[in-house]
Structure 1
Amino acid sequence: RDGQTLGTIHFPRAPRFYGLSTADGIPYWKIALLHGRDTLATTVHQTCIRYADRRTSCQFCAIGQSLEADRTIAYKTPAQLAEVAKAAVELDGVRDMVLTTGTPNVIDRGAAVLAESARAIRAAVDLPLQVQCEPPRDHGWFQRLREAGADSLGMHLEAATQAVREKIMPGKATVSVDRYMDAFASAVPIFGRGQVNTYILAGLGDSAKDILALAERLIALGVYPFVVPFVPISGTPLENHAPPSAEFMKSVLAPLGRMLREANMKSTDIRAGCGRCGACSSLSAYEQ
């Protein structure tokens, strides 16, 4: 700027594991992808019971689009995930892995398939794992997930207030904020303070005050609130919904960074997951 160098940008090279395929011919990149610098991520079940009906689906969700475009496969088996994870560690130095899923049912809400997947991966390679699902009805799943090898847990509210949740994600909003809070309170003693995270999309309609009020409650429980700017995806009902301004994000992230700093809860302490990766948000810069 004005003749002065401000910084240098480096673009990551395609990871080497992308060049490999399973014995039955499935490219590894259809099974899991590199996120950020060194996080491997996959959607185990590329389907959701709510997605097909816009009366219940999350209005920002595109879980079915990559499947329709043949960029992924509908279900990644535990053996496939273990094979790809091992290669990603050995070839590209991956340091953690995120296992998320569409919601397959309203009972365990995906916890069962995540536990099965985590167990297979940890048998193949020593790789910290985060599993992500809606709160299962039986909170005993938290202990089972931990025993299966999960190091951290993500249960994503997406929006801070029930009114916005009901408007933007009518199906998922049937699991209320209060039920999430109960699940967080059960999960933190099992996974540890700061090892339970929730994803919050700023720009869906919640005010900065709403987001920060929720974040304060979450931090008090020991939950890391990973606040991310909403980014519209083409082909979804919210494709024309404007993302939040830089000013709005700063009004949220600056005080949130202070709150996390004061609580001694930082992204660098998260063993695995979105908060540790940080590629979707600049929140970690405000923790300094």
Structure 2
Amino acid sequence: MEWKHLKARVLETGAVRLSGEPADEYISRSAAGPSAGSPGSIFFTAGGGRRVRAGMDDASPIEVVHRGGGEADLIIDGEVISGRLEPPALHCPRQAYITVSGTCIFHCRYCTVPGLPGRRKTIDEIVRMVKDVSDRIDAIAITSGVASSIEEEEAYILEVVAALRSSGLPIGVSIYPTLRTPARLHALGVAEVKFNLEAATPELFAKMCPGLSWETIREALRSSVALFGHGRVYSNIIVGLGETDDDLERLMEYLAGSGVIPILRPLTPAASLADRSRPSAERLLSLARVHERILREAGLDPRHALTMCAACTGCDLVPGRDA
């Protein structure tokens, strides 16, 4: 079975059964998004830039057997794929991917963060975290909840970025933006930005993220392309919120036509959407074909990503990487 079909099955299932030798050093835990507060996840790679991230569930029909020293086998649908477990630096392999504020005043229906006792990391703490993994990373990625207000969060993130500039590594930032956020991040030398539209339509966004503005995010993405360049601006779009495939195709065409790389993120059922199903492997593969065509026609290639999700590829089917 081709890698993209295997990965789609893992993304459909969402978790694997981890067995074999102890693997604590290979387990990553999230402080943001729908996976926050979960038992953790692992990154399995079959080489050649092919990577998948999966949660851990003893009841999963998919098994990863750790043979020791990172060597592992992925056992899925009767097939055995040899590979490795990748140790996360911070959150994911080869990046210091840091959640600055692990709390949020907004209540997006798919996100567990507002219900968790999160806190804001100090700037000194963040600098120390990056320094501690400096020999294992190629990039820094910054994300955050909204601790008190959108404007205050942006101001704090700008301080964080300024403190990290001396690392010399490319920095990517993914926060809820104001209209001035792109220019302010660009002035600090940020390499890439990711502002997440999350839902395929503004109507669906309004239902999922009350109190936030889809149009503000869209405008921030548009203005970011002129600053950071084609292929250096990204936006997560969740698959499984109730949208149609036509909705997703229209939004992908709009974003790619604007120079933004859309990232299709399978829904992780959580928070008030805990009773939803993850998108099927068949749907993910069908959308991946459309996604690949749209990016090719727009001259966009996620393989050139420096930071954040498009550089990691663990959670999504990524055109050009997952063949």
* Separation (CA, whole Å) in 1 of partners of 2:152 and 2:296: 33
Q: Aligned residue for 2:119?
A: 74
Choose between structure 1 and 2: higher strand proportion: 2
Q: What's the TM-score once normalised by structure 2's chain length?
A: 0.70
SS state of the match for residue 197, structure 1?
Answer: strand
- Contact 1:58–1:171 (CA<8 Å) still a contact in 2? no
Structure 2 counterparts to residues 118-157 of structure 1, below 5 A: 118-123=161-166, 125-137=167-179, 139=180, 141-157=181-197
1:34 aligns with 2:91: yes
* Separation (CA, whole Å) in 1 of partners of 2:266 and 2:150: 30
Q: Aligned residue for 2:199?
A: 159
- Contact 1:132–1:154 (CA<8 Å) still a contact in 2? yes
What letter matches 2:162 in structure 1?
R
* Separation (CA, whole Å) in 1 of partners of 2:232 and 2:155: 20
- What is the aligned-residue RMSD (CA, Å)? 2.2
2:143 to 87, 97, 100: 100
SS state of the match for residue 190, structure 2?
Answer: coil
Q: Aligned residue for 2:10?
A: none
Q: Aligned residue for 2:111?
A: 61
Deviations 1:155-181 (A, max 9, x none): 101111122212222222xx13x3333
Please list every run of 5 or more consecutive structure 2 residues that lacks an aligned counterpart in the other structure: 2-77
SS state of the match for residue 110, structure 1?
Answer: helix
* Separation (CA, whole Å) in 1 of partners of 2:311 and 2:273: 27
Q: What's the TM-score once normalised by structure 1's chain length?
A: 0.78
- Contact 2:267–2:279 (CA<8 Å) still a contact in 1? yes
Q: Aligned residue for 2:82?
A: 8
Q: Aligned residue for 1:273?
A: 308
What letter matches 2:101 in structure 1?
H
What letter matches 2:211 in structure 1?
G
What letter matches 1:242 in structure 2?
S
1:189 aligns with 2:226: yes
**Once the two structures are aligned, what percentage of the paired residues are identical?**
28
1:47 to 89, 95, 103: 103
- Contact 1:257–1:286 (CA<8 Å) still a contact in 2? no
- Contact 2:139–2:170 (CA<8 Å) still a contact in 1? yes
* Separation (CA, whole Å) in 1 of partners of 2:273 and 2:138: 33
Structure 1 residue 39: deviation in Å?
Answer: 2.1
* Separation (CA, whole Å) in 2 of partners of 1:109 and 1:193: 29
Q: Aligned residue for 2:251?
A: 214
SS state of the match for residue 150, structure 1?
Answer: coil
* Separation (CA, whole Å) in 1 of partners of 2:299 and 2:94: 24
* Separation (CA, whole Å) in 1 of partners of 2:319 and 2:152: 30
* Separation (CA, whole Å) in 2 of partners of 1:64 and 1:210: 28
After superposition, the Cα gap between the structure-2 partners of 1:187 and 1:273, relative to the gap in structure 1 and judged at 3 Å, is same
What letter matches 2:105 in structure 1?
I
- What is the number of equivalent residue pairs in this alignment? 247
Structure 1 residue 87: deviation in Å?
Answer: 1.9
What letter matches 1:260 in structure 2?
L
Q: Aligned residue for 1:199?
A: 236
Structure 1 residue 64: deviation in Å?
Answer: 4.0
